[in-house]
Each structure stands twice: as C-alpha cells, then as structure tokens.
Structure 1
Amino acid sequence: MEDKKADIYNCGKELFSSKGFKDTNVADITKKAGVSVGTFYNYYPSKEKLFMEIFMNENVKLKKRMMSSVNPEDTPLDFIKGFLSMNIAGMKSNPILKEWYNRDVFNKIENLYRQENGNDSVNFIYGNSLEMVTKWQGEGKMRSDLSSELIMAIFAALINIDTHKEEIGLQYFPEVLDSITEFVIKGLMDTGK
C-alpha cells in the first residue's frame, strides 16, 4: 500500500516539476504511477493536497540546507540578508517551490498552505532563529524592548515580501527587498547605545 502512495508522490513530483501545477492533472499522475484514479483518491483527496505535501517537503529540505549554510556568528544584518538571498535562490531553482511565485497557483494553494499549518512544517527554523534572536538581544546586538517573537514575525514578513514582487515592480524588486531588509534590520539593531 505504501509503495502505491510513494509511486503517486514521486510521479506527481516529477510531473509538477516538468509540467507545472496547472498543466498536471490527476489522470496524468495516475497514468504515470500505473494506478487507478480511485487509488489516487485513497491517498490524496485532491491534486492540491498532493502538491502541498510535495511543496512542504521540498520547502523543509531547502530550509535545512539554508540553516546548515548560515554563519551564526554573522552580524544580524549579514545573517538575515544571507538567509533571504539563499531562500530566494532556492525557491527559484526548484521547480516545485518556484510555483509559489506563479500568481494563479499561489492564489489557489495559499489558503491550503495556511490551513495545513505550513509554518509548523519548518518549526525547527523558528526555534533555531528564535534562539539566535534571543542571543543577539542578550549581547546587545538587537533591540530588547521588542519581544523575540515579534522580531521573528518581522523576519517572516521580510521573507514573504517576495510573493509581491510583481506589485512592487520586477525591475525594482531586488533593490527594494535589499533596502527594506537593511532598513528593518538596522532598526532592530538600534539598541539606543
């Protein structure tokens, strides 16, 4: 039974990667996996649910690579800029994660992602980053008049700015993101000393 689910998952991942979310349908996946449509629905209630499972797993892999690549001794500004840069590069280089930037797909899957507690799937990042923020606060490198949880919410907002690059303007987006990040982090580093 689990082999069939793995086949559906792997074939879905391959098709979503090559054809995209929009141009992949359940019939394509079941044909490639060699299972019936009914078998697909025994494991996944919809194409969207399968896609989200694949997306979440790919997102976790990316975030683990990022966490192993960052230098915790960097200044908060260098750390966050590096983290954002790696996140954008990783999202753009992975065809599954890249779908997050496709407006049609994004609108369709965003609510599902939120409902599925997408943020909970990368809680290890939150925990590690929260510890780092608390450390920076203790060392006087970051404001202590704000809770570390609020600072983490600000970091999450910075990460999510890239989903609005079309509204910002593609020609300005990289500079806007870099400038906003610098302004925000420098403001968080201003400890009044």
Structure 2
Amino acid sequence: MASEKKLTLKESAREIFADKGYKATSISEIAKQARMAVGSFYKYYESKEDIFLDVYIDENNIIRQTVIDNIDWDRDMVELISQIFGWSRSLISSNKILLEWYNSDISEKLHNYYSSEKGINSNLFHLFLVDKFTNRMLSEGYSQEKIQEVLQVYQLFYYMDTHITEADLPNASKTIESLATYFVKGLFK
C-alpha cells in the first residue's frame, strides 16, 4: 500500500513537472493531484527536490532506453557518436523534465546525483555505453591497456557532462559532442 501511494505521488509529480516545469510546481499541487494531504507527501519524500530527482531518473532512463533501441550500434564509430548525440538532443529538447538539467534551481542536485558513486553505478545508459564500447574495442583487437586509456577519456566526458553547465560554458553540450567526435575520429580512423 505504501509503495502504491509513493508511485501515485511520483506519477502525479511527473505529470505536473512535465506540464509546468520544476520551479512552477509545488508540493501542495503534487499532493492534491495524488489525492493526498501535504503531510502524506512527507512520508515518502523529504522535499520537492527529492521527488523531482526520482522523476528525473525514471524519465532519463526511458529516454536513454529509446536511444539504445534506435541506434545501429554496429555503425562506424564516428557516425555512432553523431547518432548518440543526435538522438539524445532530439529526445531531451522535447522533454520539459530533462531540460531541467540546465535549470540552476535543481541542476546542482541532478549533477551531484549523477556524479556520485550511486548515480554512476545506477546510470543504465552509462553502464551500457561502457560495456558496448569495451566489447567493440575488444572485437577490433585493442589491447586491455588501450581500452583502459579510452575508458579514462570516456570518464572525462562523463565528468564534464555532470559538472559543466551551459552557464559555465555556453554550448557546453555541443562542445562535448565535438570533442567526442574528434577523439573517436583519431582513435578509430
């Protein structure tokens, strides 16, 4: 029963966040939509930030699974990088919840989660990419040493994605994409 109520809260929050965005959403609206008292909200979540993080993680996993399902992973690596960024940009740009990644009201919590050990180890897309690229390099005959070097560079890309915002560096995501593309061109060409 308790997990059903938490799920109802999260579904209500997702609908409101998707419609109004993070800043314009209140805990009282979420509770009202879930047909609960505001006090009941606090049995399941400590704050609006916590429920938003829970919603964001689910939303991000859904979008990333769409990317995984729609990319031809056997393509040329440069084209593959272009596809990953292209699909991600397309799906995120039309998703009000995921666009909050750049909102200073909540971005610190999101970035802190995804850069934490828990966030890294539960980031299904990140784990998929590490596995996919490791297997690809193994099949192409790269040594374990070279694979580890490449994965270190990938970790740097992950770090940049979770620590550099558009406020820090205008067009940060496009710059990371360019850097990844040139790195892959040098590695696989």
TM-score bin, normalised by smaller chain: 0.7 to 0.9
Residue type of the alignment partner of 1:18: D
Q: Deviations over 1:60-104 (max 9, x none)?
A: 111111111111211111111211221122222111111112233
What's the CA shift for 1:122? 2.6
Q: Which shifted more, 142-151 or 89-98?
A: 142-151
Give the corresponding residue for 1:22: 23
Q: How does 1:86-105 map to 2 (within 5 A)?
A: 86-105=87-106
Residue type of the alignment partner of 1:179: S
- Equivalent position to 2:155, from 135, 153, 156: 153
Q: How does 1:6-155 map to 2 (within 5 A)?
A: 6-115=7-116, 117-123=118-124, 125-127=126-128, 129-140=130-141, 145-147=146-148, 149-155=151-157
Provide TM-score, normalisation by structure 1: 0.79
Give the conservation status (yes or no) of the 8 Å contact 2:45–2:51. yes
Give the conservation status (yes or no) of the 8 Å contact 1:143–1:189. no
Give the conservation status (yes or no) of the 8 Å contact 1:142–1:189. no
What's the CA shift for 1:58? 0.7
Aligned length, in residue pairs: 187
Instruction: Measure, in 1, the Cα distance between the counterparts of 2:11 and 2:56.
Output: 12
Give the conservation status (yes or no) of the 8 Å contact 2:101–2:107. yes
Structure 1 unaligned spans of 5+: none
1:104 alignment partner, SS class: coil
What's the CA shift for 1:137? 4.4
What's the CA shift for 1:144? 5.7
1:74 alignment partner, SS class: coil
What's the CA shift for 1:46? 1.4
Identity, in percent, stands at 26
Give the conservation status (yes or no) of the 8 Å contact 2:13–2:51. yes
Structure 2 unaligned spans of 5+: none
Q: Deviations over 1:4-30 (max 9, x none)?
A: 222211111111112211121211211
Q: Which shifted more, 134-143 or 10-19?
A: 134-143
RMSD of the TM alignment (CA)?
3.0
1:179 aligns with 2:181: no
Instruction: Measure, in 2, the Cα distance between the counterparts of 1:129 and 1:173.
Output: 19
Residue type of the alignment partner of 2:179: I
Give the conservation status (yes or no) of the 8 Å contact 1:5–1:43. yes
What's the CA shift for 1:109? 3.7
Residue type of the alignment partner of 1:6: L
Distance 1:118-1:109 versus aligned 2 partners, 3 A rule: same
